[in-house]
Chain A
Amino acid sequence: MISIKNVRKIFPSKQGHLKAVDDVNLEIHEGEIFGIIGYSGAGKSTLIRMLNGLELPTEGTVNVAGREISKVKGKELRKARQEISMIFQHFNLLWSRTVSENIAFPLEIAGVPAPQRKKRVEELIKLVGLEGRENAYPSQLSGGQKQRVGIARALANNPKVLLCDEATSALDPQTTDSILDLLVDINKRLGLTIVLITHEMHVIRKICHRVAVMESGRIVELGPVLDVFRNPQAPITKRFVQQVTEPEETKDTVEHLLERYHSGLVIQLTFIGESAEQPVITKLIRSHHVTVNILQGKISQTRNGSYGTLFIHLDGEQDEIDKAVDFIRSQQVGVEVITNG
Chain B
Amino acid sequence: MDNNHAFQDIDWQGMWAATKETLYMSGISVVATFILGIILGLLLFLTSPGNMWQNKFVNIVISAIVNIFRSIPFIILIVLLIPFTNILFRTMIGPNGALPALIIGAAPFYARMVEIGLREIDKGVIEAAKSMGASMGTIIWKVLLPESMPALVSGITVTAIALVSYTAMAGVIGAGGLGNLAYLQGFEQNRNDVTFVATVIILIIVFVIQFIGDVITKKLDKR
Contact = CB atoms under 8 A, between A and B. Distances in A.
A179 B131 CA distance: 21
Interface in B125-151: 125, 127-135, 138, 142-143, 146-147, 149
B170 to A, nearest CB: 36
A96 B149 contact: yes
B56 interface: no
B5 interface: no
Interface stretch (A24-32, A102-110, A291-299): A102-110
B134 A109 contact: yes
B133 A94 contact: no
B133 A95 contact: no
Interface string B56-68: 0000000000000
B223 A108 contact: no
Contact of A96 (B127, B132, B220): B220
A90 B124 contact: yes
A86 B138 contact: no
Nearest to B139: A109
B128 A109 contact: no
A85 B222 contact: no
B188 interface: no
Chain A interface SS verdict (over half): mixed
Contacts of B138: 108-109
Nearest to B150: A96
B131 A81 contact: yes
Given A54-B127, A86-B128, A96-B149, A139 B134 contact: no
A78 B124 contact: no
Given A78-B135, A81-B130, A81-B133, A88 B124 contact: yes
Contacts of A52: 131
A174 B142 CA distance: 34
A139 to B, nearest CB: 5
B122 interface: yes
Given A78-B134, A94-B146, A139 B124 contact: no
Contacts of A90: 122, 124
The range of chain A's interface size is: 20 to 34
Contacts of B131: 52, 54, 81, 84-86, 163
B132 A92 contact: no
A39 interface: no
Contacts of A157: 132
Given A88-B124, A92-B128, A96-B149, A109 B222 contact: no
A105 B146 contact: no
Contacts of B143: 94
A86 B128 CA distance: 7
Interface string A72-101: 000001111110111010101111110000
Nearest to B138: A109
B142 A108 contact: yes
Contacts of A85: 131-132
Which of the listed residues A106, A137, A138 has the most CB atoms from chain B within 10 Å of its own CB?
A: A106
A96 B133 contact: no
Interface string A155-187: 001000001000000000000000000000000
B221 to A, nearest CB: 9
A329 to B, nearest CB: 51
B223 A139 contact: yes
Contacts of A77: 133
10 interchain residue pairs of minimum CB distance: A81-B133, A92-B128, A78-B133, A92-B124, A137-B222, A86-B131, A106-B132, A96-B146, A82-B133, A95-B223
Given A86-B131, A95-B147, 12 more contacts: A52-B131, A54-B130, A80-B133, A82-B133, A92-B124, A92-B125, A92-B127, A92-B128, A96-B220, A105-B142, A106-B132, A138-B222
Interface of A: 52, 54, 77-82, 84-86, 88, 90, 92-97, 105-106, 108-110, 137-139, 153, 157, 163
19 contacts: A54-B127, A54-B130, A78-B134, A80-B133, A82-B132, A85-B132, A92-B124, A92-B125, A92-B128, A95-B222, A96-B149, A105-B142, A108-B142, A109-B129, A109-B133, A110-B133, A137-B222, A139-B223, A153-B132
